[in-house]
Amino acid sequence: MVDDPTLRSFINIHLLNLLDGSPHEVPLQKVIALDLGHYRSPRVIDMQISDSRIALAIGASSFTAVRQDIELIAWEWKTGRVVSGSSPWQN
Amino acid sequence: MATSEKMLYIGTSVDLDRKSSGDEMGGLEARWARLNGFAGSKRSGTFQGALIVNRGTCASRAEPRLEYRSDQDRSGSLVEQFLVASAKRGYILQRLSPAPPRVKFSMCPISISELPSEVLEYILLSLSAAEILKMKEVPRKIAYNSVHRLTLYPSQVNHLFLDLVINSQYLQHRIDLFSAGLVDNPNTVYSLGERRARLRKYSDGWKGAESSVRYECPLESRVIAFESLRVSDQNLFSLHSDDSATVSFIRIPSSPKQETVTERRLELPFRFKSQAVRSQDNLLAVVEQGIG
């Protein structure tokens, strides 16, 4: 798979206050810009929040391949640290 | 001679004239007991043979004289060890009477189908539920018939075990527990019938699960997709419609008598695709739409 730097996909995840929709006071990153690299039209299949982590399952197809991938990304929402990298597998 | 006989049971106290041979006999007795695994005196009853001490003979000779009688040939090997041990110590042993007829424990000639069903049931209860279930399976054999066509036909099944499994409440209960993914409480006070009834009620409850409490909540926002419904903790449901930037939170009361259903809407300055809620941390995470 060719990793073309001109072809990038991003999604923004906003961490908001549940009561009024204002930016959440705890996370260091109020908006997480997730670089999905070579994926085309990424869609969030599922998103879950635990006490320390946010996990996303992202389904997308590649710019340079026909195959469909599902990528799992998780990070600690209080620190912004990614705790597990992408784990793509062919769908 | 019979009047002077004194029975000496291995492992029990020895009624001997300690003046002549008490210490020696005590040592022999202990050694014999060790040789034959009778460490405790309480186990002496399992030995079928009996040592007989002829006190009269002891008194007439300078050394004690021991004699033994074996009730079963099976214990003969044990007595032989005693003979060897005592011979090394200078004792003379004699057989008083011929051994009684040997009791033969041969294989039982009856077939397994003649055993009482309770016995078979008890044996089968030592199996796991998966192994019991195999008896109910009808294995199929694949074969070619006369015109070379592939056919499947049921092979023979053991009807003895099959009927036993079907008619046994204990075996059926074990299978039902396995099906429900449960195990019996070993400390239960309920009878088998009560346990079976409770298990049946539990299983039936899952088959026809119906909500005991039903809420009807008229929503201001239009919910267009089921997948946008999120169940969070504290009975909080969050909904969003794909064509708007509105997320709705519906809190279901834990008890119908406590409070009413509440809905709250939150307008966001952007459109979003997906959302997740964690009410303990007052956190709402949404994925912004249109970026990429």
Strand partners, B240: B247
Can you give the residue ranges of every domain in chain A?
Answer: 9-90
Pairing relationship of beta strands A82-84 and B140-144 according to DSSP bridges: unpaired
CA distance A43 to B274: 9
Cβ-contact B261, B237 below 8 angstroms: no
**Angle (CA) B60 B69 B31, round 5°:** 80
Pairing relationship of beta strands B65-69 and B92-95 according to DSSP bridges: parallel
Task: Choose the final residue of a domain: B150, B172, B207.
Answer: B207
DSSP 8-state assignment for residue A23: B
**Cβ–Cβ of B283/A16 closer than 8 Å?**
yes
Is B186 within the bounds of a domain?
Answer: yes
Segment of B94-103, B192-201, B270-279 carrying the highest mean pLDDT: B192-201
Using a CB-CB cut-off of 8 Å, the residues of chain B touching A44 are 273-274, 287
Look at residue B248 in the predicted model and tell me its pLDDT: 76
Q: What DSSP element (H or E) covers B66?
A: strand B65-69
CA distance B246 to B270: 9
**Which comes out higher in pLDDT, residue B292 or B261?**
B261
Is B102 within the bounds of a domain?
Answer: no
Residues 6+ apart with CB under 8 A from B244: B221, B222, B271
**Which comes out higher in pLDDT, residue B99 or B45?**
B99
Cβ-contact A35, A8 below 8 angstroms: yes
Question: Is pTM, for the whole model, over 0.80?
Answer: no
Query: In this structure, is the dihedral angle defined by the CA atoms of residues A11, A15, A18 and A22, taken in order, positive or negative?
Result: negative
Look at residue B199 in the predicted model and tell me its pLDDT: 92
pLDDT, one tens digit for every residue, chain A (91 residues): 445 556 677 788 889 988 888 898 888 888 888 777 667 777 788 888 888 888 888 877 666 665 666 777 888 888 877 766 554 444 3
CA distance B263 to chain A (A): 12
Of B274, B279, B288, the CB nearest to A47: B274
3-state helix, strand, coil in chain B (%, to 5): 35, 20, 45
Check pLDDT > 60 for residue B131: yes
**Complex ipTM:** 0.82
**Cβ–Cβ of B291/A12 closer than 8 Å?**
yes
Using a CB-CB cut-off of 8 Å, the residues of chain A touching B234 are none
Check pLDDT > 80 for residue B107: no
Check pLDDT > 80 for residue B286: yes
Task: Choose the final residue of a domain: B48, B63, B95.
Answer: B95
Q: Give the structural domain span for B167.
A: 115-207
Phi then psi dihedrals of residue B141, to 5 deg:
-105, 140
**Cβ–Cβ of B285/A10 closer than 8 Å?**
no
pLDDT tens-digit readout, B66-94: 444 444 444 455 556 555 655 665 555 54
Of B270, B277, B292, the CB nearest to A18: B277
CA distance A78 to chain B (A): 11
Is B88 within the bounds of a domain?
Answer: yes
Look at residue A35 in the predicted model and tell me its pLDDT: 75
pLDDT tens-digit readout, B223-270: 554 445 666 666 677 777 655 677 777 777 766 666 666 777 777 888
pLDDT band for B219, please (50, 70, 90 cuts): low
Phi then psi dihedrals of residue B134, to 5 deg:
-65, -25
Look at residue B86 in the predicted model and tell me its pLDDT: 57
Residues 6+ apart with CB under 8 A from B136: B162, B165, B166
Using a CB-CB cut-off of 8 Å, the residues of chain B touching A30 are none
CA distance A77 to B3: 99
**Cβ–Cβ of A24/B282 closer than 8 Å?**
yes
**Cβ–Cβ of A13/B277 closer than 8 Å?**
no
Strand partners, B239: B248
Is B213 within the bounds of a domain?
Answer: no
| Mean pLDDT value across residues B274-282 | 82
Using an 8 Å CB-CB cutoff, list residues of chain A that contact chain B.
9-21, 24, 26, 36, 41-44, 46-51, 54, 56, 77
Phi then psi dihedrals of residue B140, to 5 deg:
-110, 140
CA distance B160 to B168: 12
Looking at the 3D structure of chain B, how many domains does it have? 3
Residues B128, B66 within the same domain:
no
**Cβ–Cβ of A12/B283 closer than 8 Å?**
no
Mean pLDDT of chain B, nearest integer: 63
DSSP 8-state assignment for residue B54: E
pLDDT band for B173, please (50, 70, 90 cuts): very high
Mutate to test the interface with A, among B229, B287, B289, B291 (most CBs of A within 10 A): B287
Q: What DSSP element (H or E) covers B216?
A: none
Mutate to test the interface with A, among B274, B279, B280 (most CBs of A within 10 A): B274
For A8, name the nearest residue in chain B, comparing CA atoms only.
B292
Look at residue B156 in the predicted model and tell me its pLDDT: 59
Q: What's the count of helices (H) and strands (E) in chain B, helices before strands?
A: 8, 12
